[in-house]
A and B are shown apart, each in its own frame.
Chain A
Amino acid sequence: MSGHKLSLVVNGERVEADVPSNRLLSEFLRDDLALTGTKRGCETGVCGACSVLVDGDVVKSCLSLAVQMNGREITTVEGLGRVGALHPLQQQFMEKGGLQCGYCTPGFLMAAVDLLKRNPNPDDAEIREGLSGNLCRCTGYQGIVDAIRSTAEAGHGA
């Protein structure tokens, strides 16, 4: 049906797009912008693999419409860090075994960014609560919790 003109910032770059009203944000990012780091795992807002930041807040992109994003600023995992300039969380996820198959990893990273933004020094229970919108089947969450704790301890929480 109707196309909508969108103007937004994705990973620091201005994006102009024309999207149909029923396009999910996750589809827009993956299929239109080829940002496939954002994953689809359940399509019911449970697994959190599609988590991205909208104006700095973590949200599930499968529970958002692209048309809602006009004028907003989006960060996906691709905007978090690059080789040579990885985000401290990315580095710690690697070093602490915060990932195995890697499919849930982008979503966990985005949730962790939001968590540490609000609570730079979380205890383990707070970390686990902050991850309650994400599912991982490989790590048993231990490596993920360890990675977030060590990132916070290194003073990268804020």
Chain B
Amino acid sequence: MPKITVDKNKCKGCLLCISVCPKGLIVVDKELNSLGANPVKFKTGGECIGCAFCALICPDCCIEVYK
């Protein structure tokens, strides 16, 4: 199953990845990161299709995609 990883200490919490994920598999992490932002995290167990839309739109290059 494809998956993504998020570099949580680079994420500024703009949430653009959430707005483009076709499967709704990215959610906000309630725990603050070292930048003082709420980063995003990947919801495991869903049906990620590895489209990489999240990585394409991420302005901070925090997302890596595996397929």
Partners in one complex: no
